[in-house]
């Protein structure tokens, strides 16, 4: 059981109709994606072809920031704002799609980009699944 799941179990107030499993999956996927994107950007900076990876690095860093922020916002339940939650989930899914596409274009040459693309795809799905559960 992840820390997010354990913390959610201890939350003292009713979360209403929120799909707890989808929420936990999204928080966990965002954390994993943020880490993968940060590590991929760092690996890209160590490649001999770093000039050709500029867009990938920038996209990695943007996605990592979006995922980290989304994870933090989803982890706060007091004063829940549905409009903000929906907007940030949509933005995170979009950042993950863009980063996944960019990393996928380098995956044939760089294993770190393939791993990152997979993490981005998983996070995008988790964000979209949570969005769907919110109605």
Each residue's pLDDT tens digit, 98-112: 999 999 999 999 999
Mean pLDDT of 74-94: 90
Whether 12 is covered by a domain: the verdict is: no
Mean pLDDT of 55-59: 97
Whether 76 is covered by a domain: the verdict is: yes
- pLDDT band at residue 75, thresholds of 50, 70 and 90? very high
Q: How far is CA 112 from the centre of its chain?
A: 16
User: Which pLDDT value is given to residue 92?
Assistant: 98
Predicted model pTM: 0.94
Whether 3 is covered by a domain: the verdict is: no
Structural domain span for residue 47:
18-134
Whether 23 is covered by a domain: the verdict is: yes
Mean pLDDT of 122-127: 98
Pick the closest to residue 120 from 4, 39, 18 (CA basis): 39
d(CA 1, CA 7): 10
Each residue's pLDDT tens digit, 5-48: 898 888 878 777 789 999 999 999 999 999 999 999 999 999 99
Whether 122 is covered by a domain: the verdict is: yes
Whether 126 is covered by a domain: the verdict is: yes
Neighbours of 11 (CB within 10 A): 12
For residue 77, what is the domain's CATH number? Answer: 1.20.1270.360
The tally of domains found in the chain comes to: 1
Whether 5 is covered by a domain: the verdict is: no
User: Which pLDDT value is given to residue 16?
Assistant: 74
Whether 69 is covered by a domain: the verdict is: yes
């Amino acid at each position: 059981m992840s820390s997010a799941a354990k913390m959610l179990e201890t939350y003292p107030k009713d979360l209403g109709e929120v799909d707890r499993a989808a929420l936990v999956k999204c928080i966990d996927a965002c954390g994993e994606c943020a880490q993968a994107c940060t590590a991929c950007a760092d690996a890209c900076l160590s490649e001999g072809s770093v000039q050709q990876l500029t867009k990938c690095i920038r996209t990695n860093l943007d996605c990592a920031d979006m995922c980290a922020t989304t994870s933090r916002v989803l982890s706060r339940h007091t004063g829940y704002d549905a409009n903000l939650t929906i907007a940030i989930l949509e933005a995170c899914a979009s950042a993950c799609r863009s980063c996944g596409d960019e990393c996928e274009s380098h995956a044939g040459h760089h294993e770190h980009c393939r791993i990152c693309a997979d993490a981005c795809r998983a996070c995008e799905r988790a964000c979209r699944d949570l969005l769907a559960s919110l109605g």
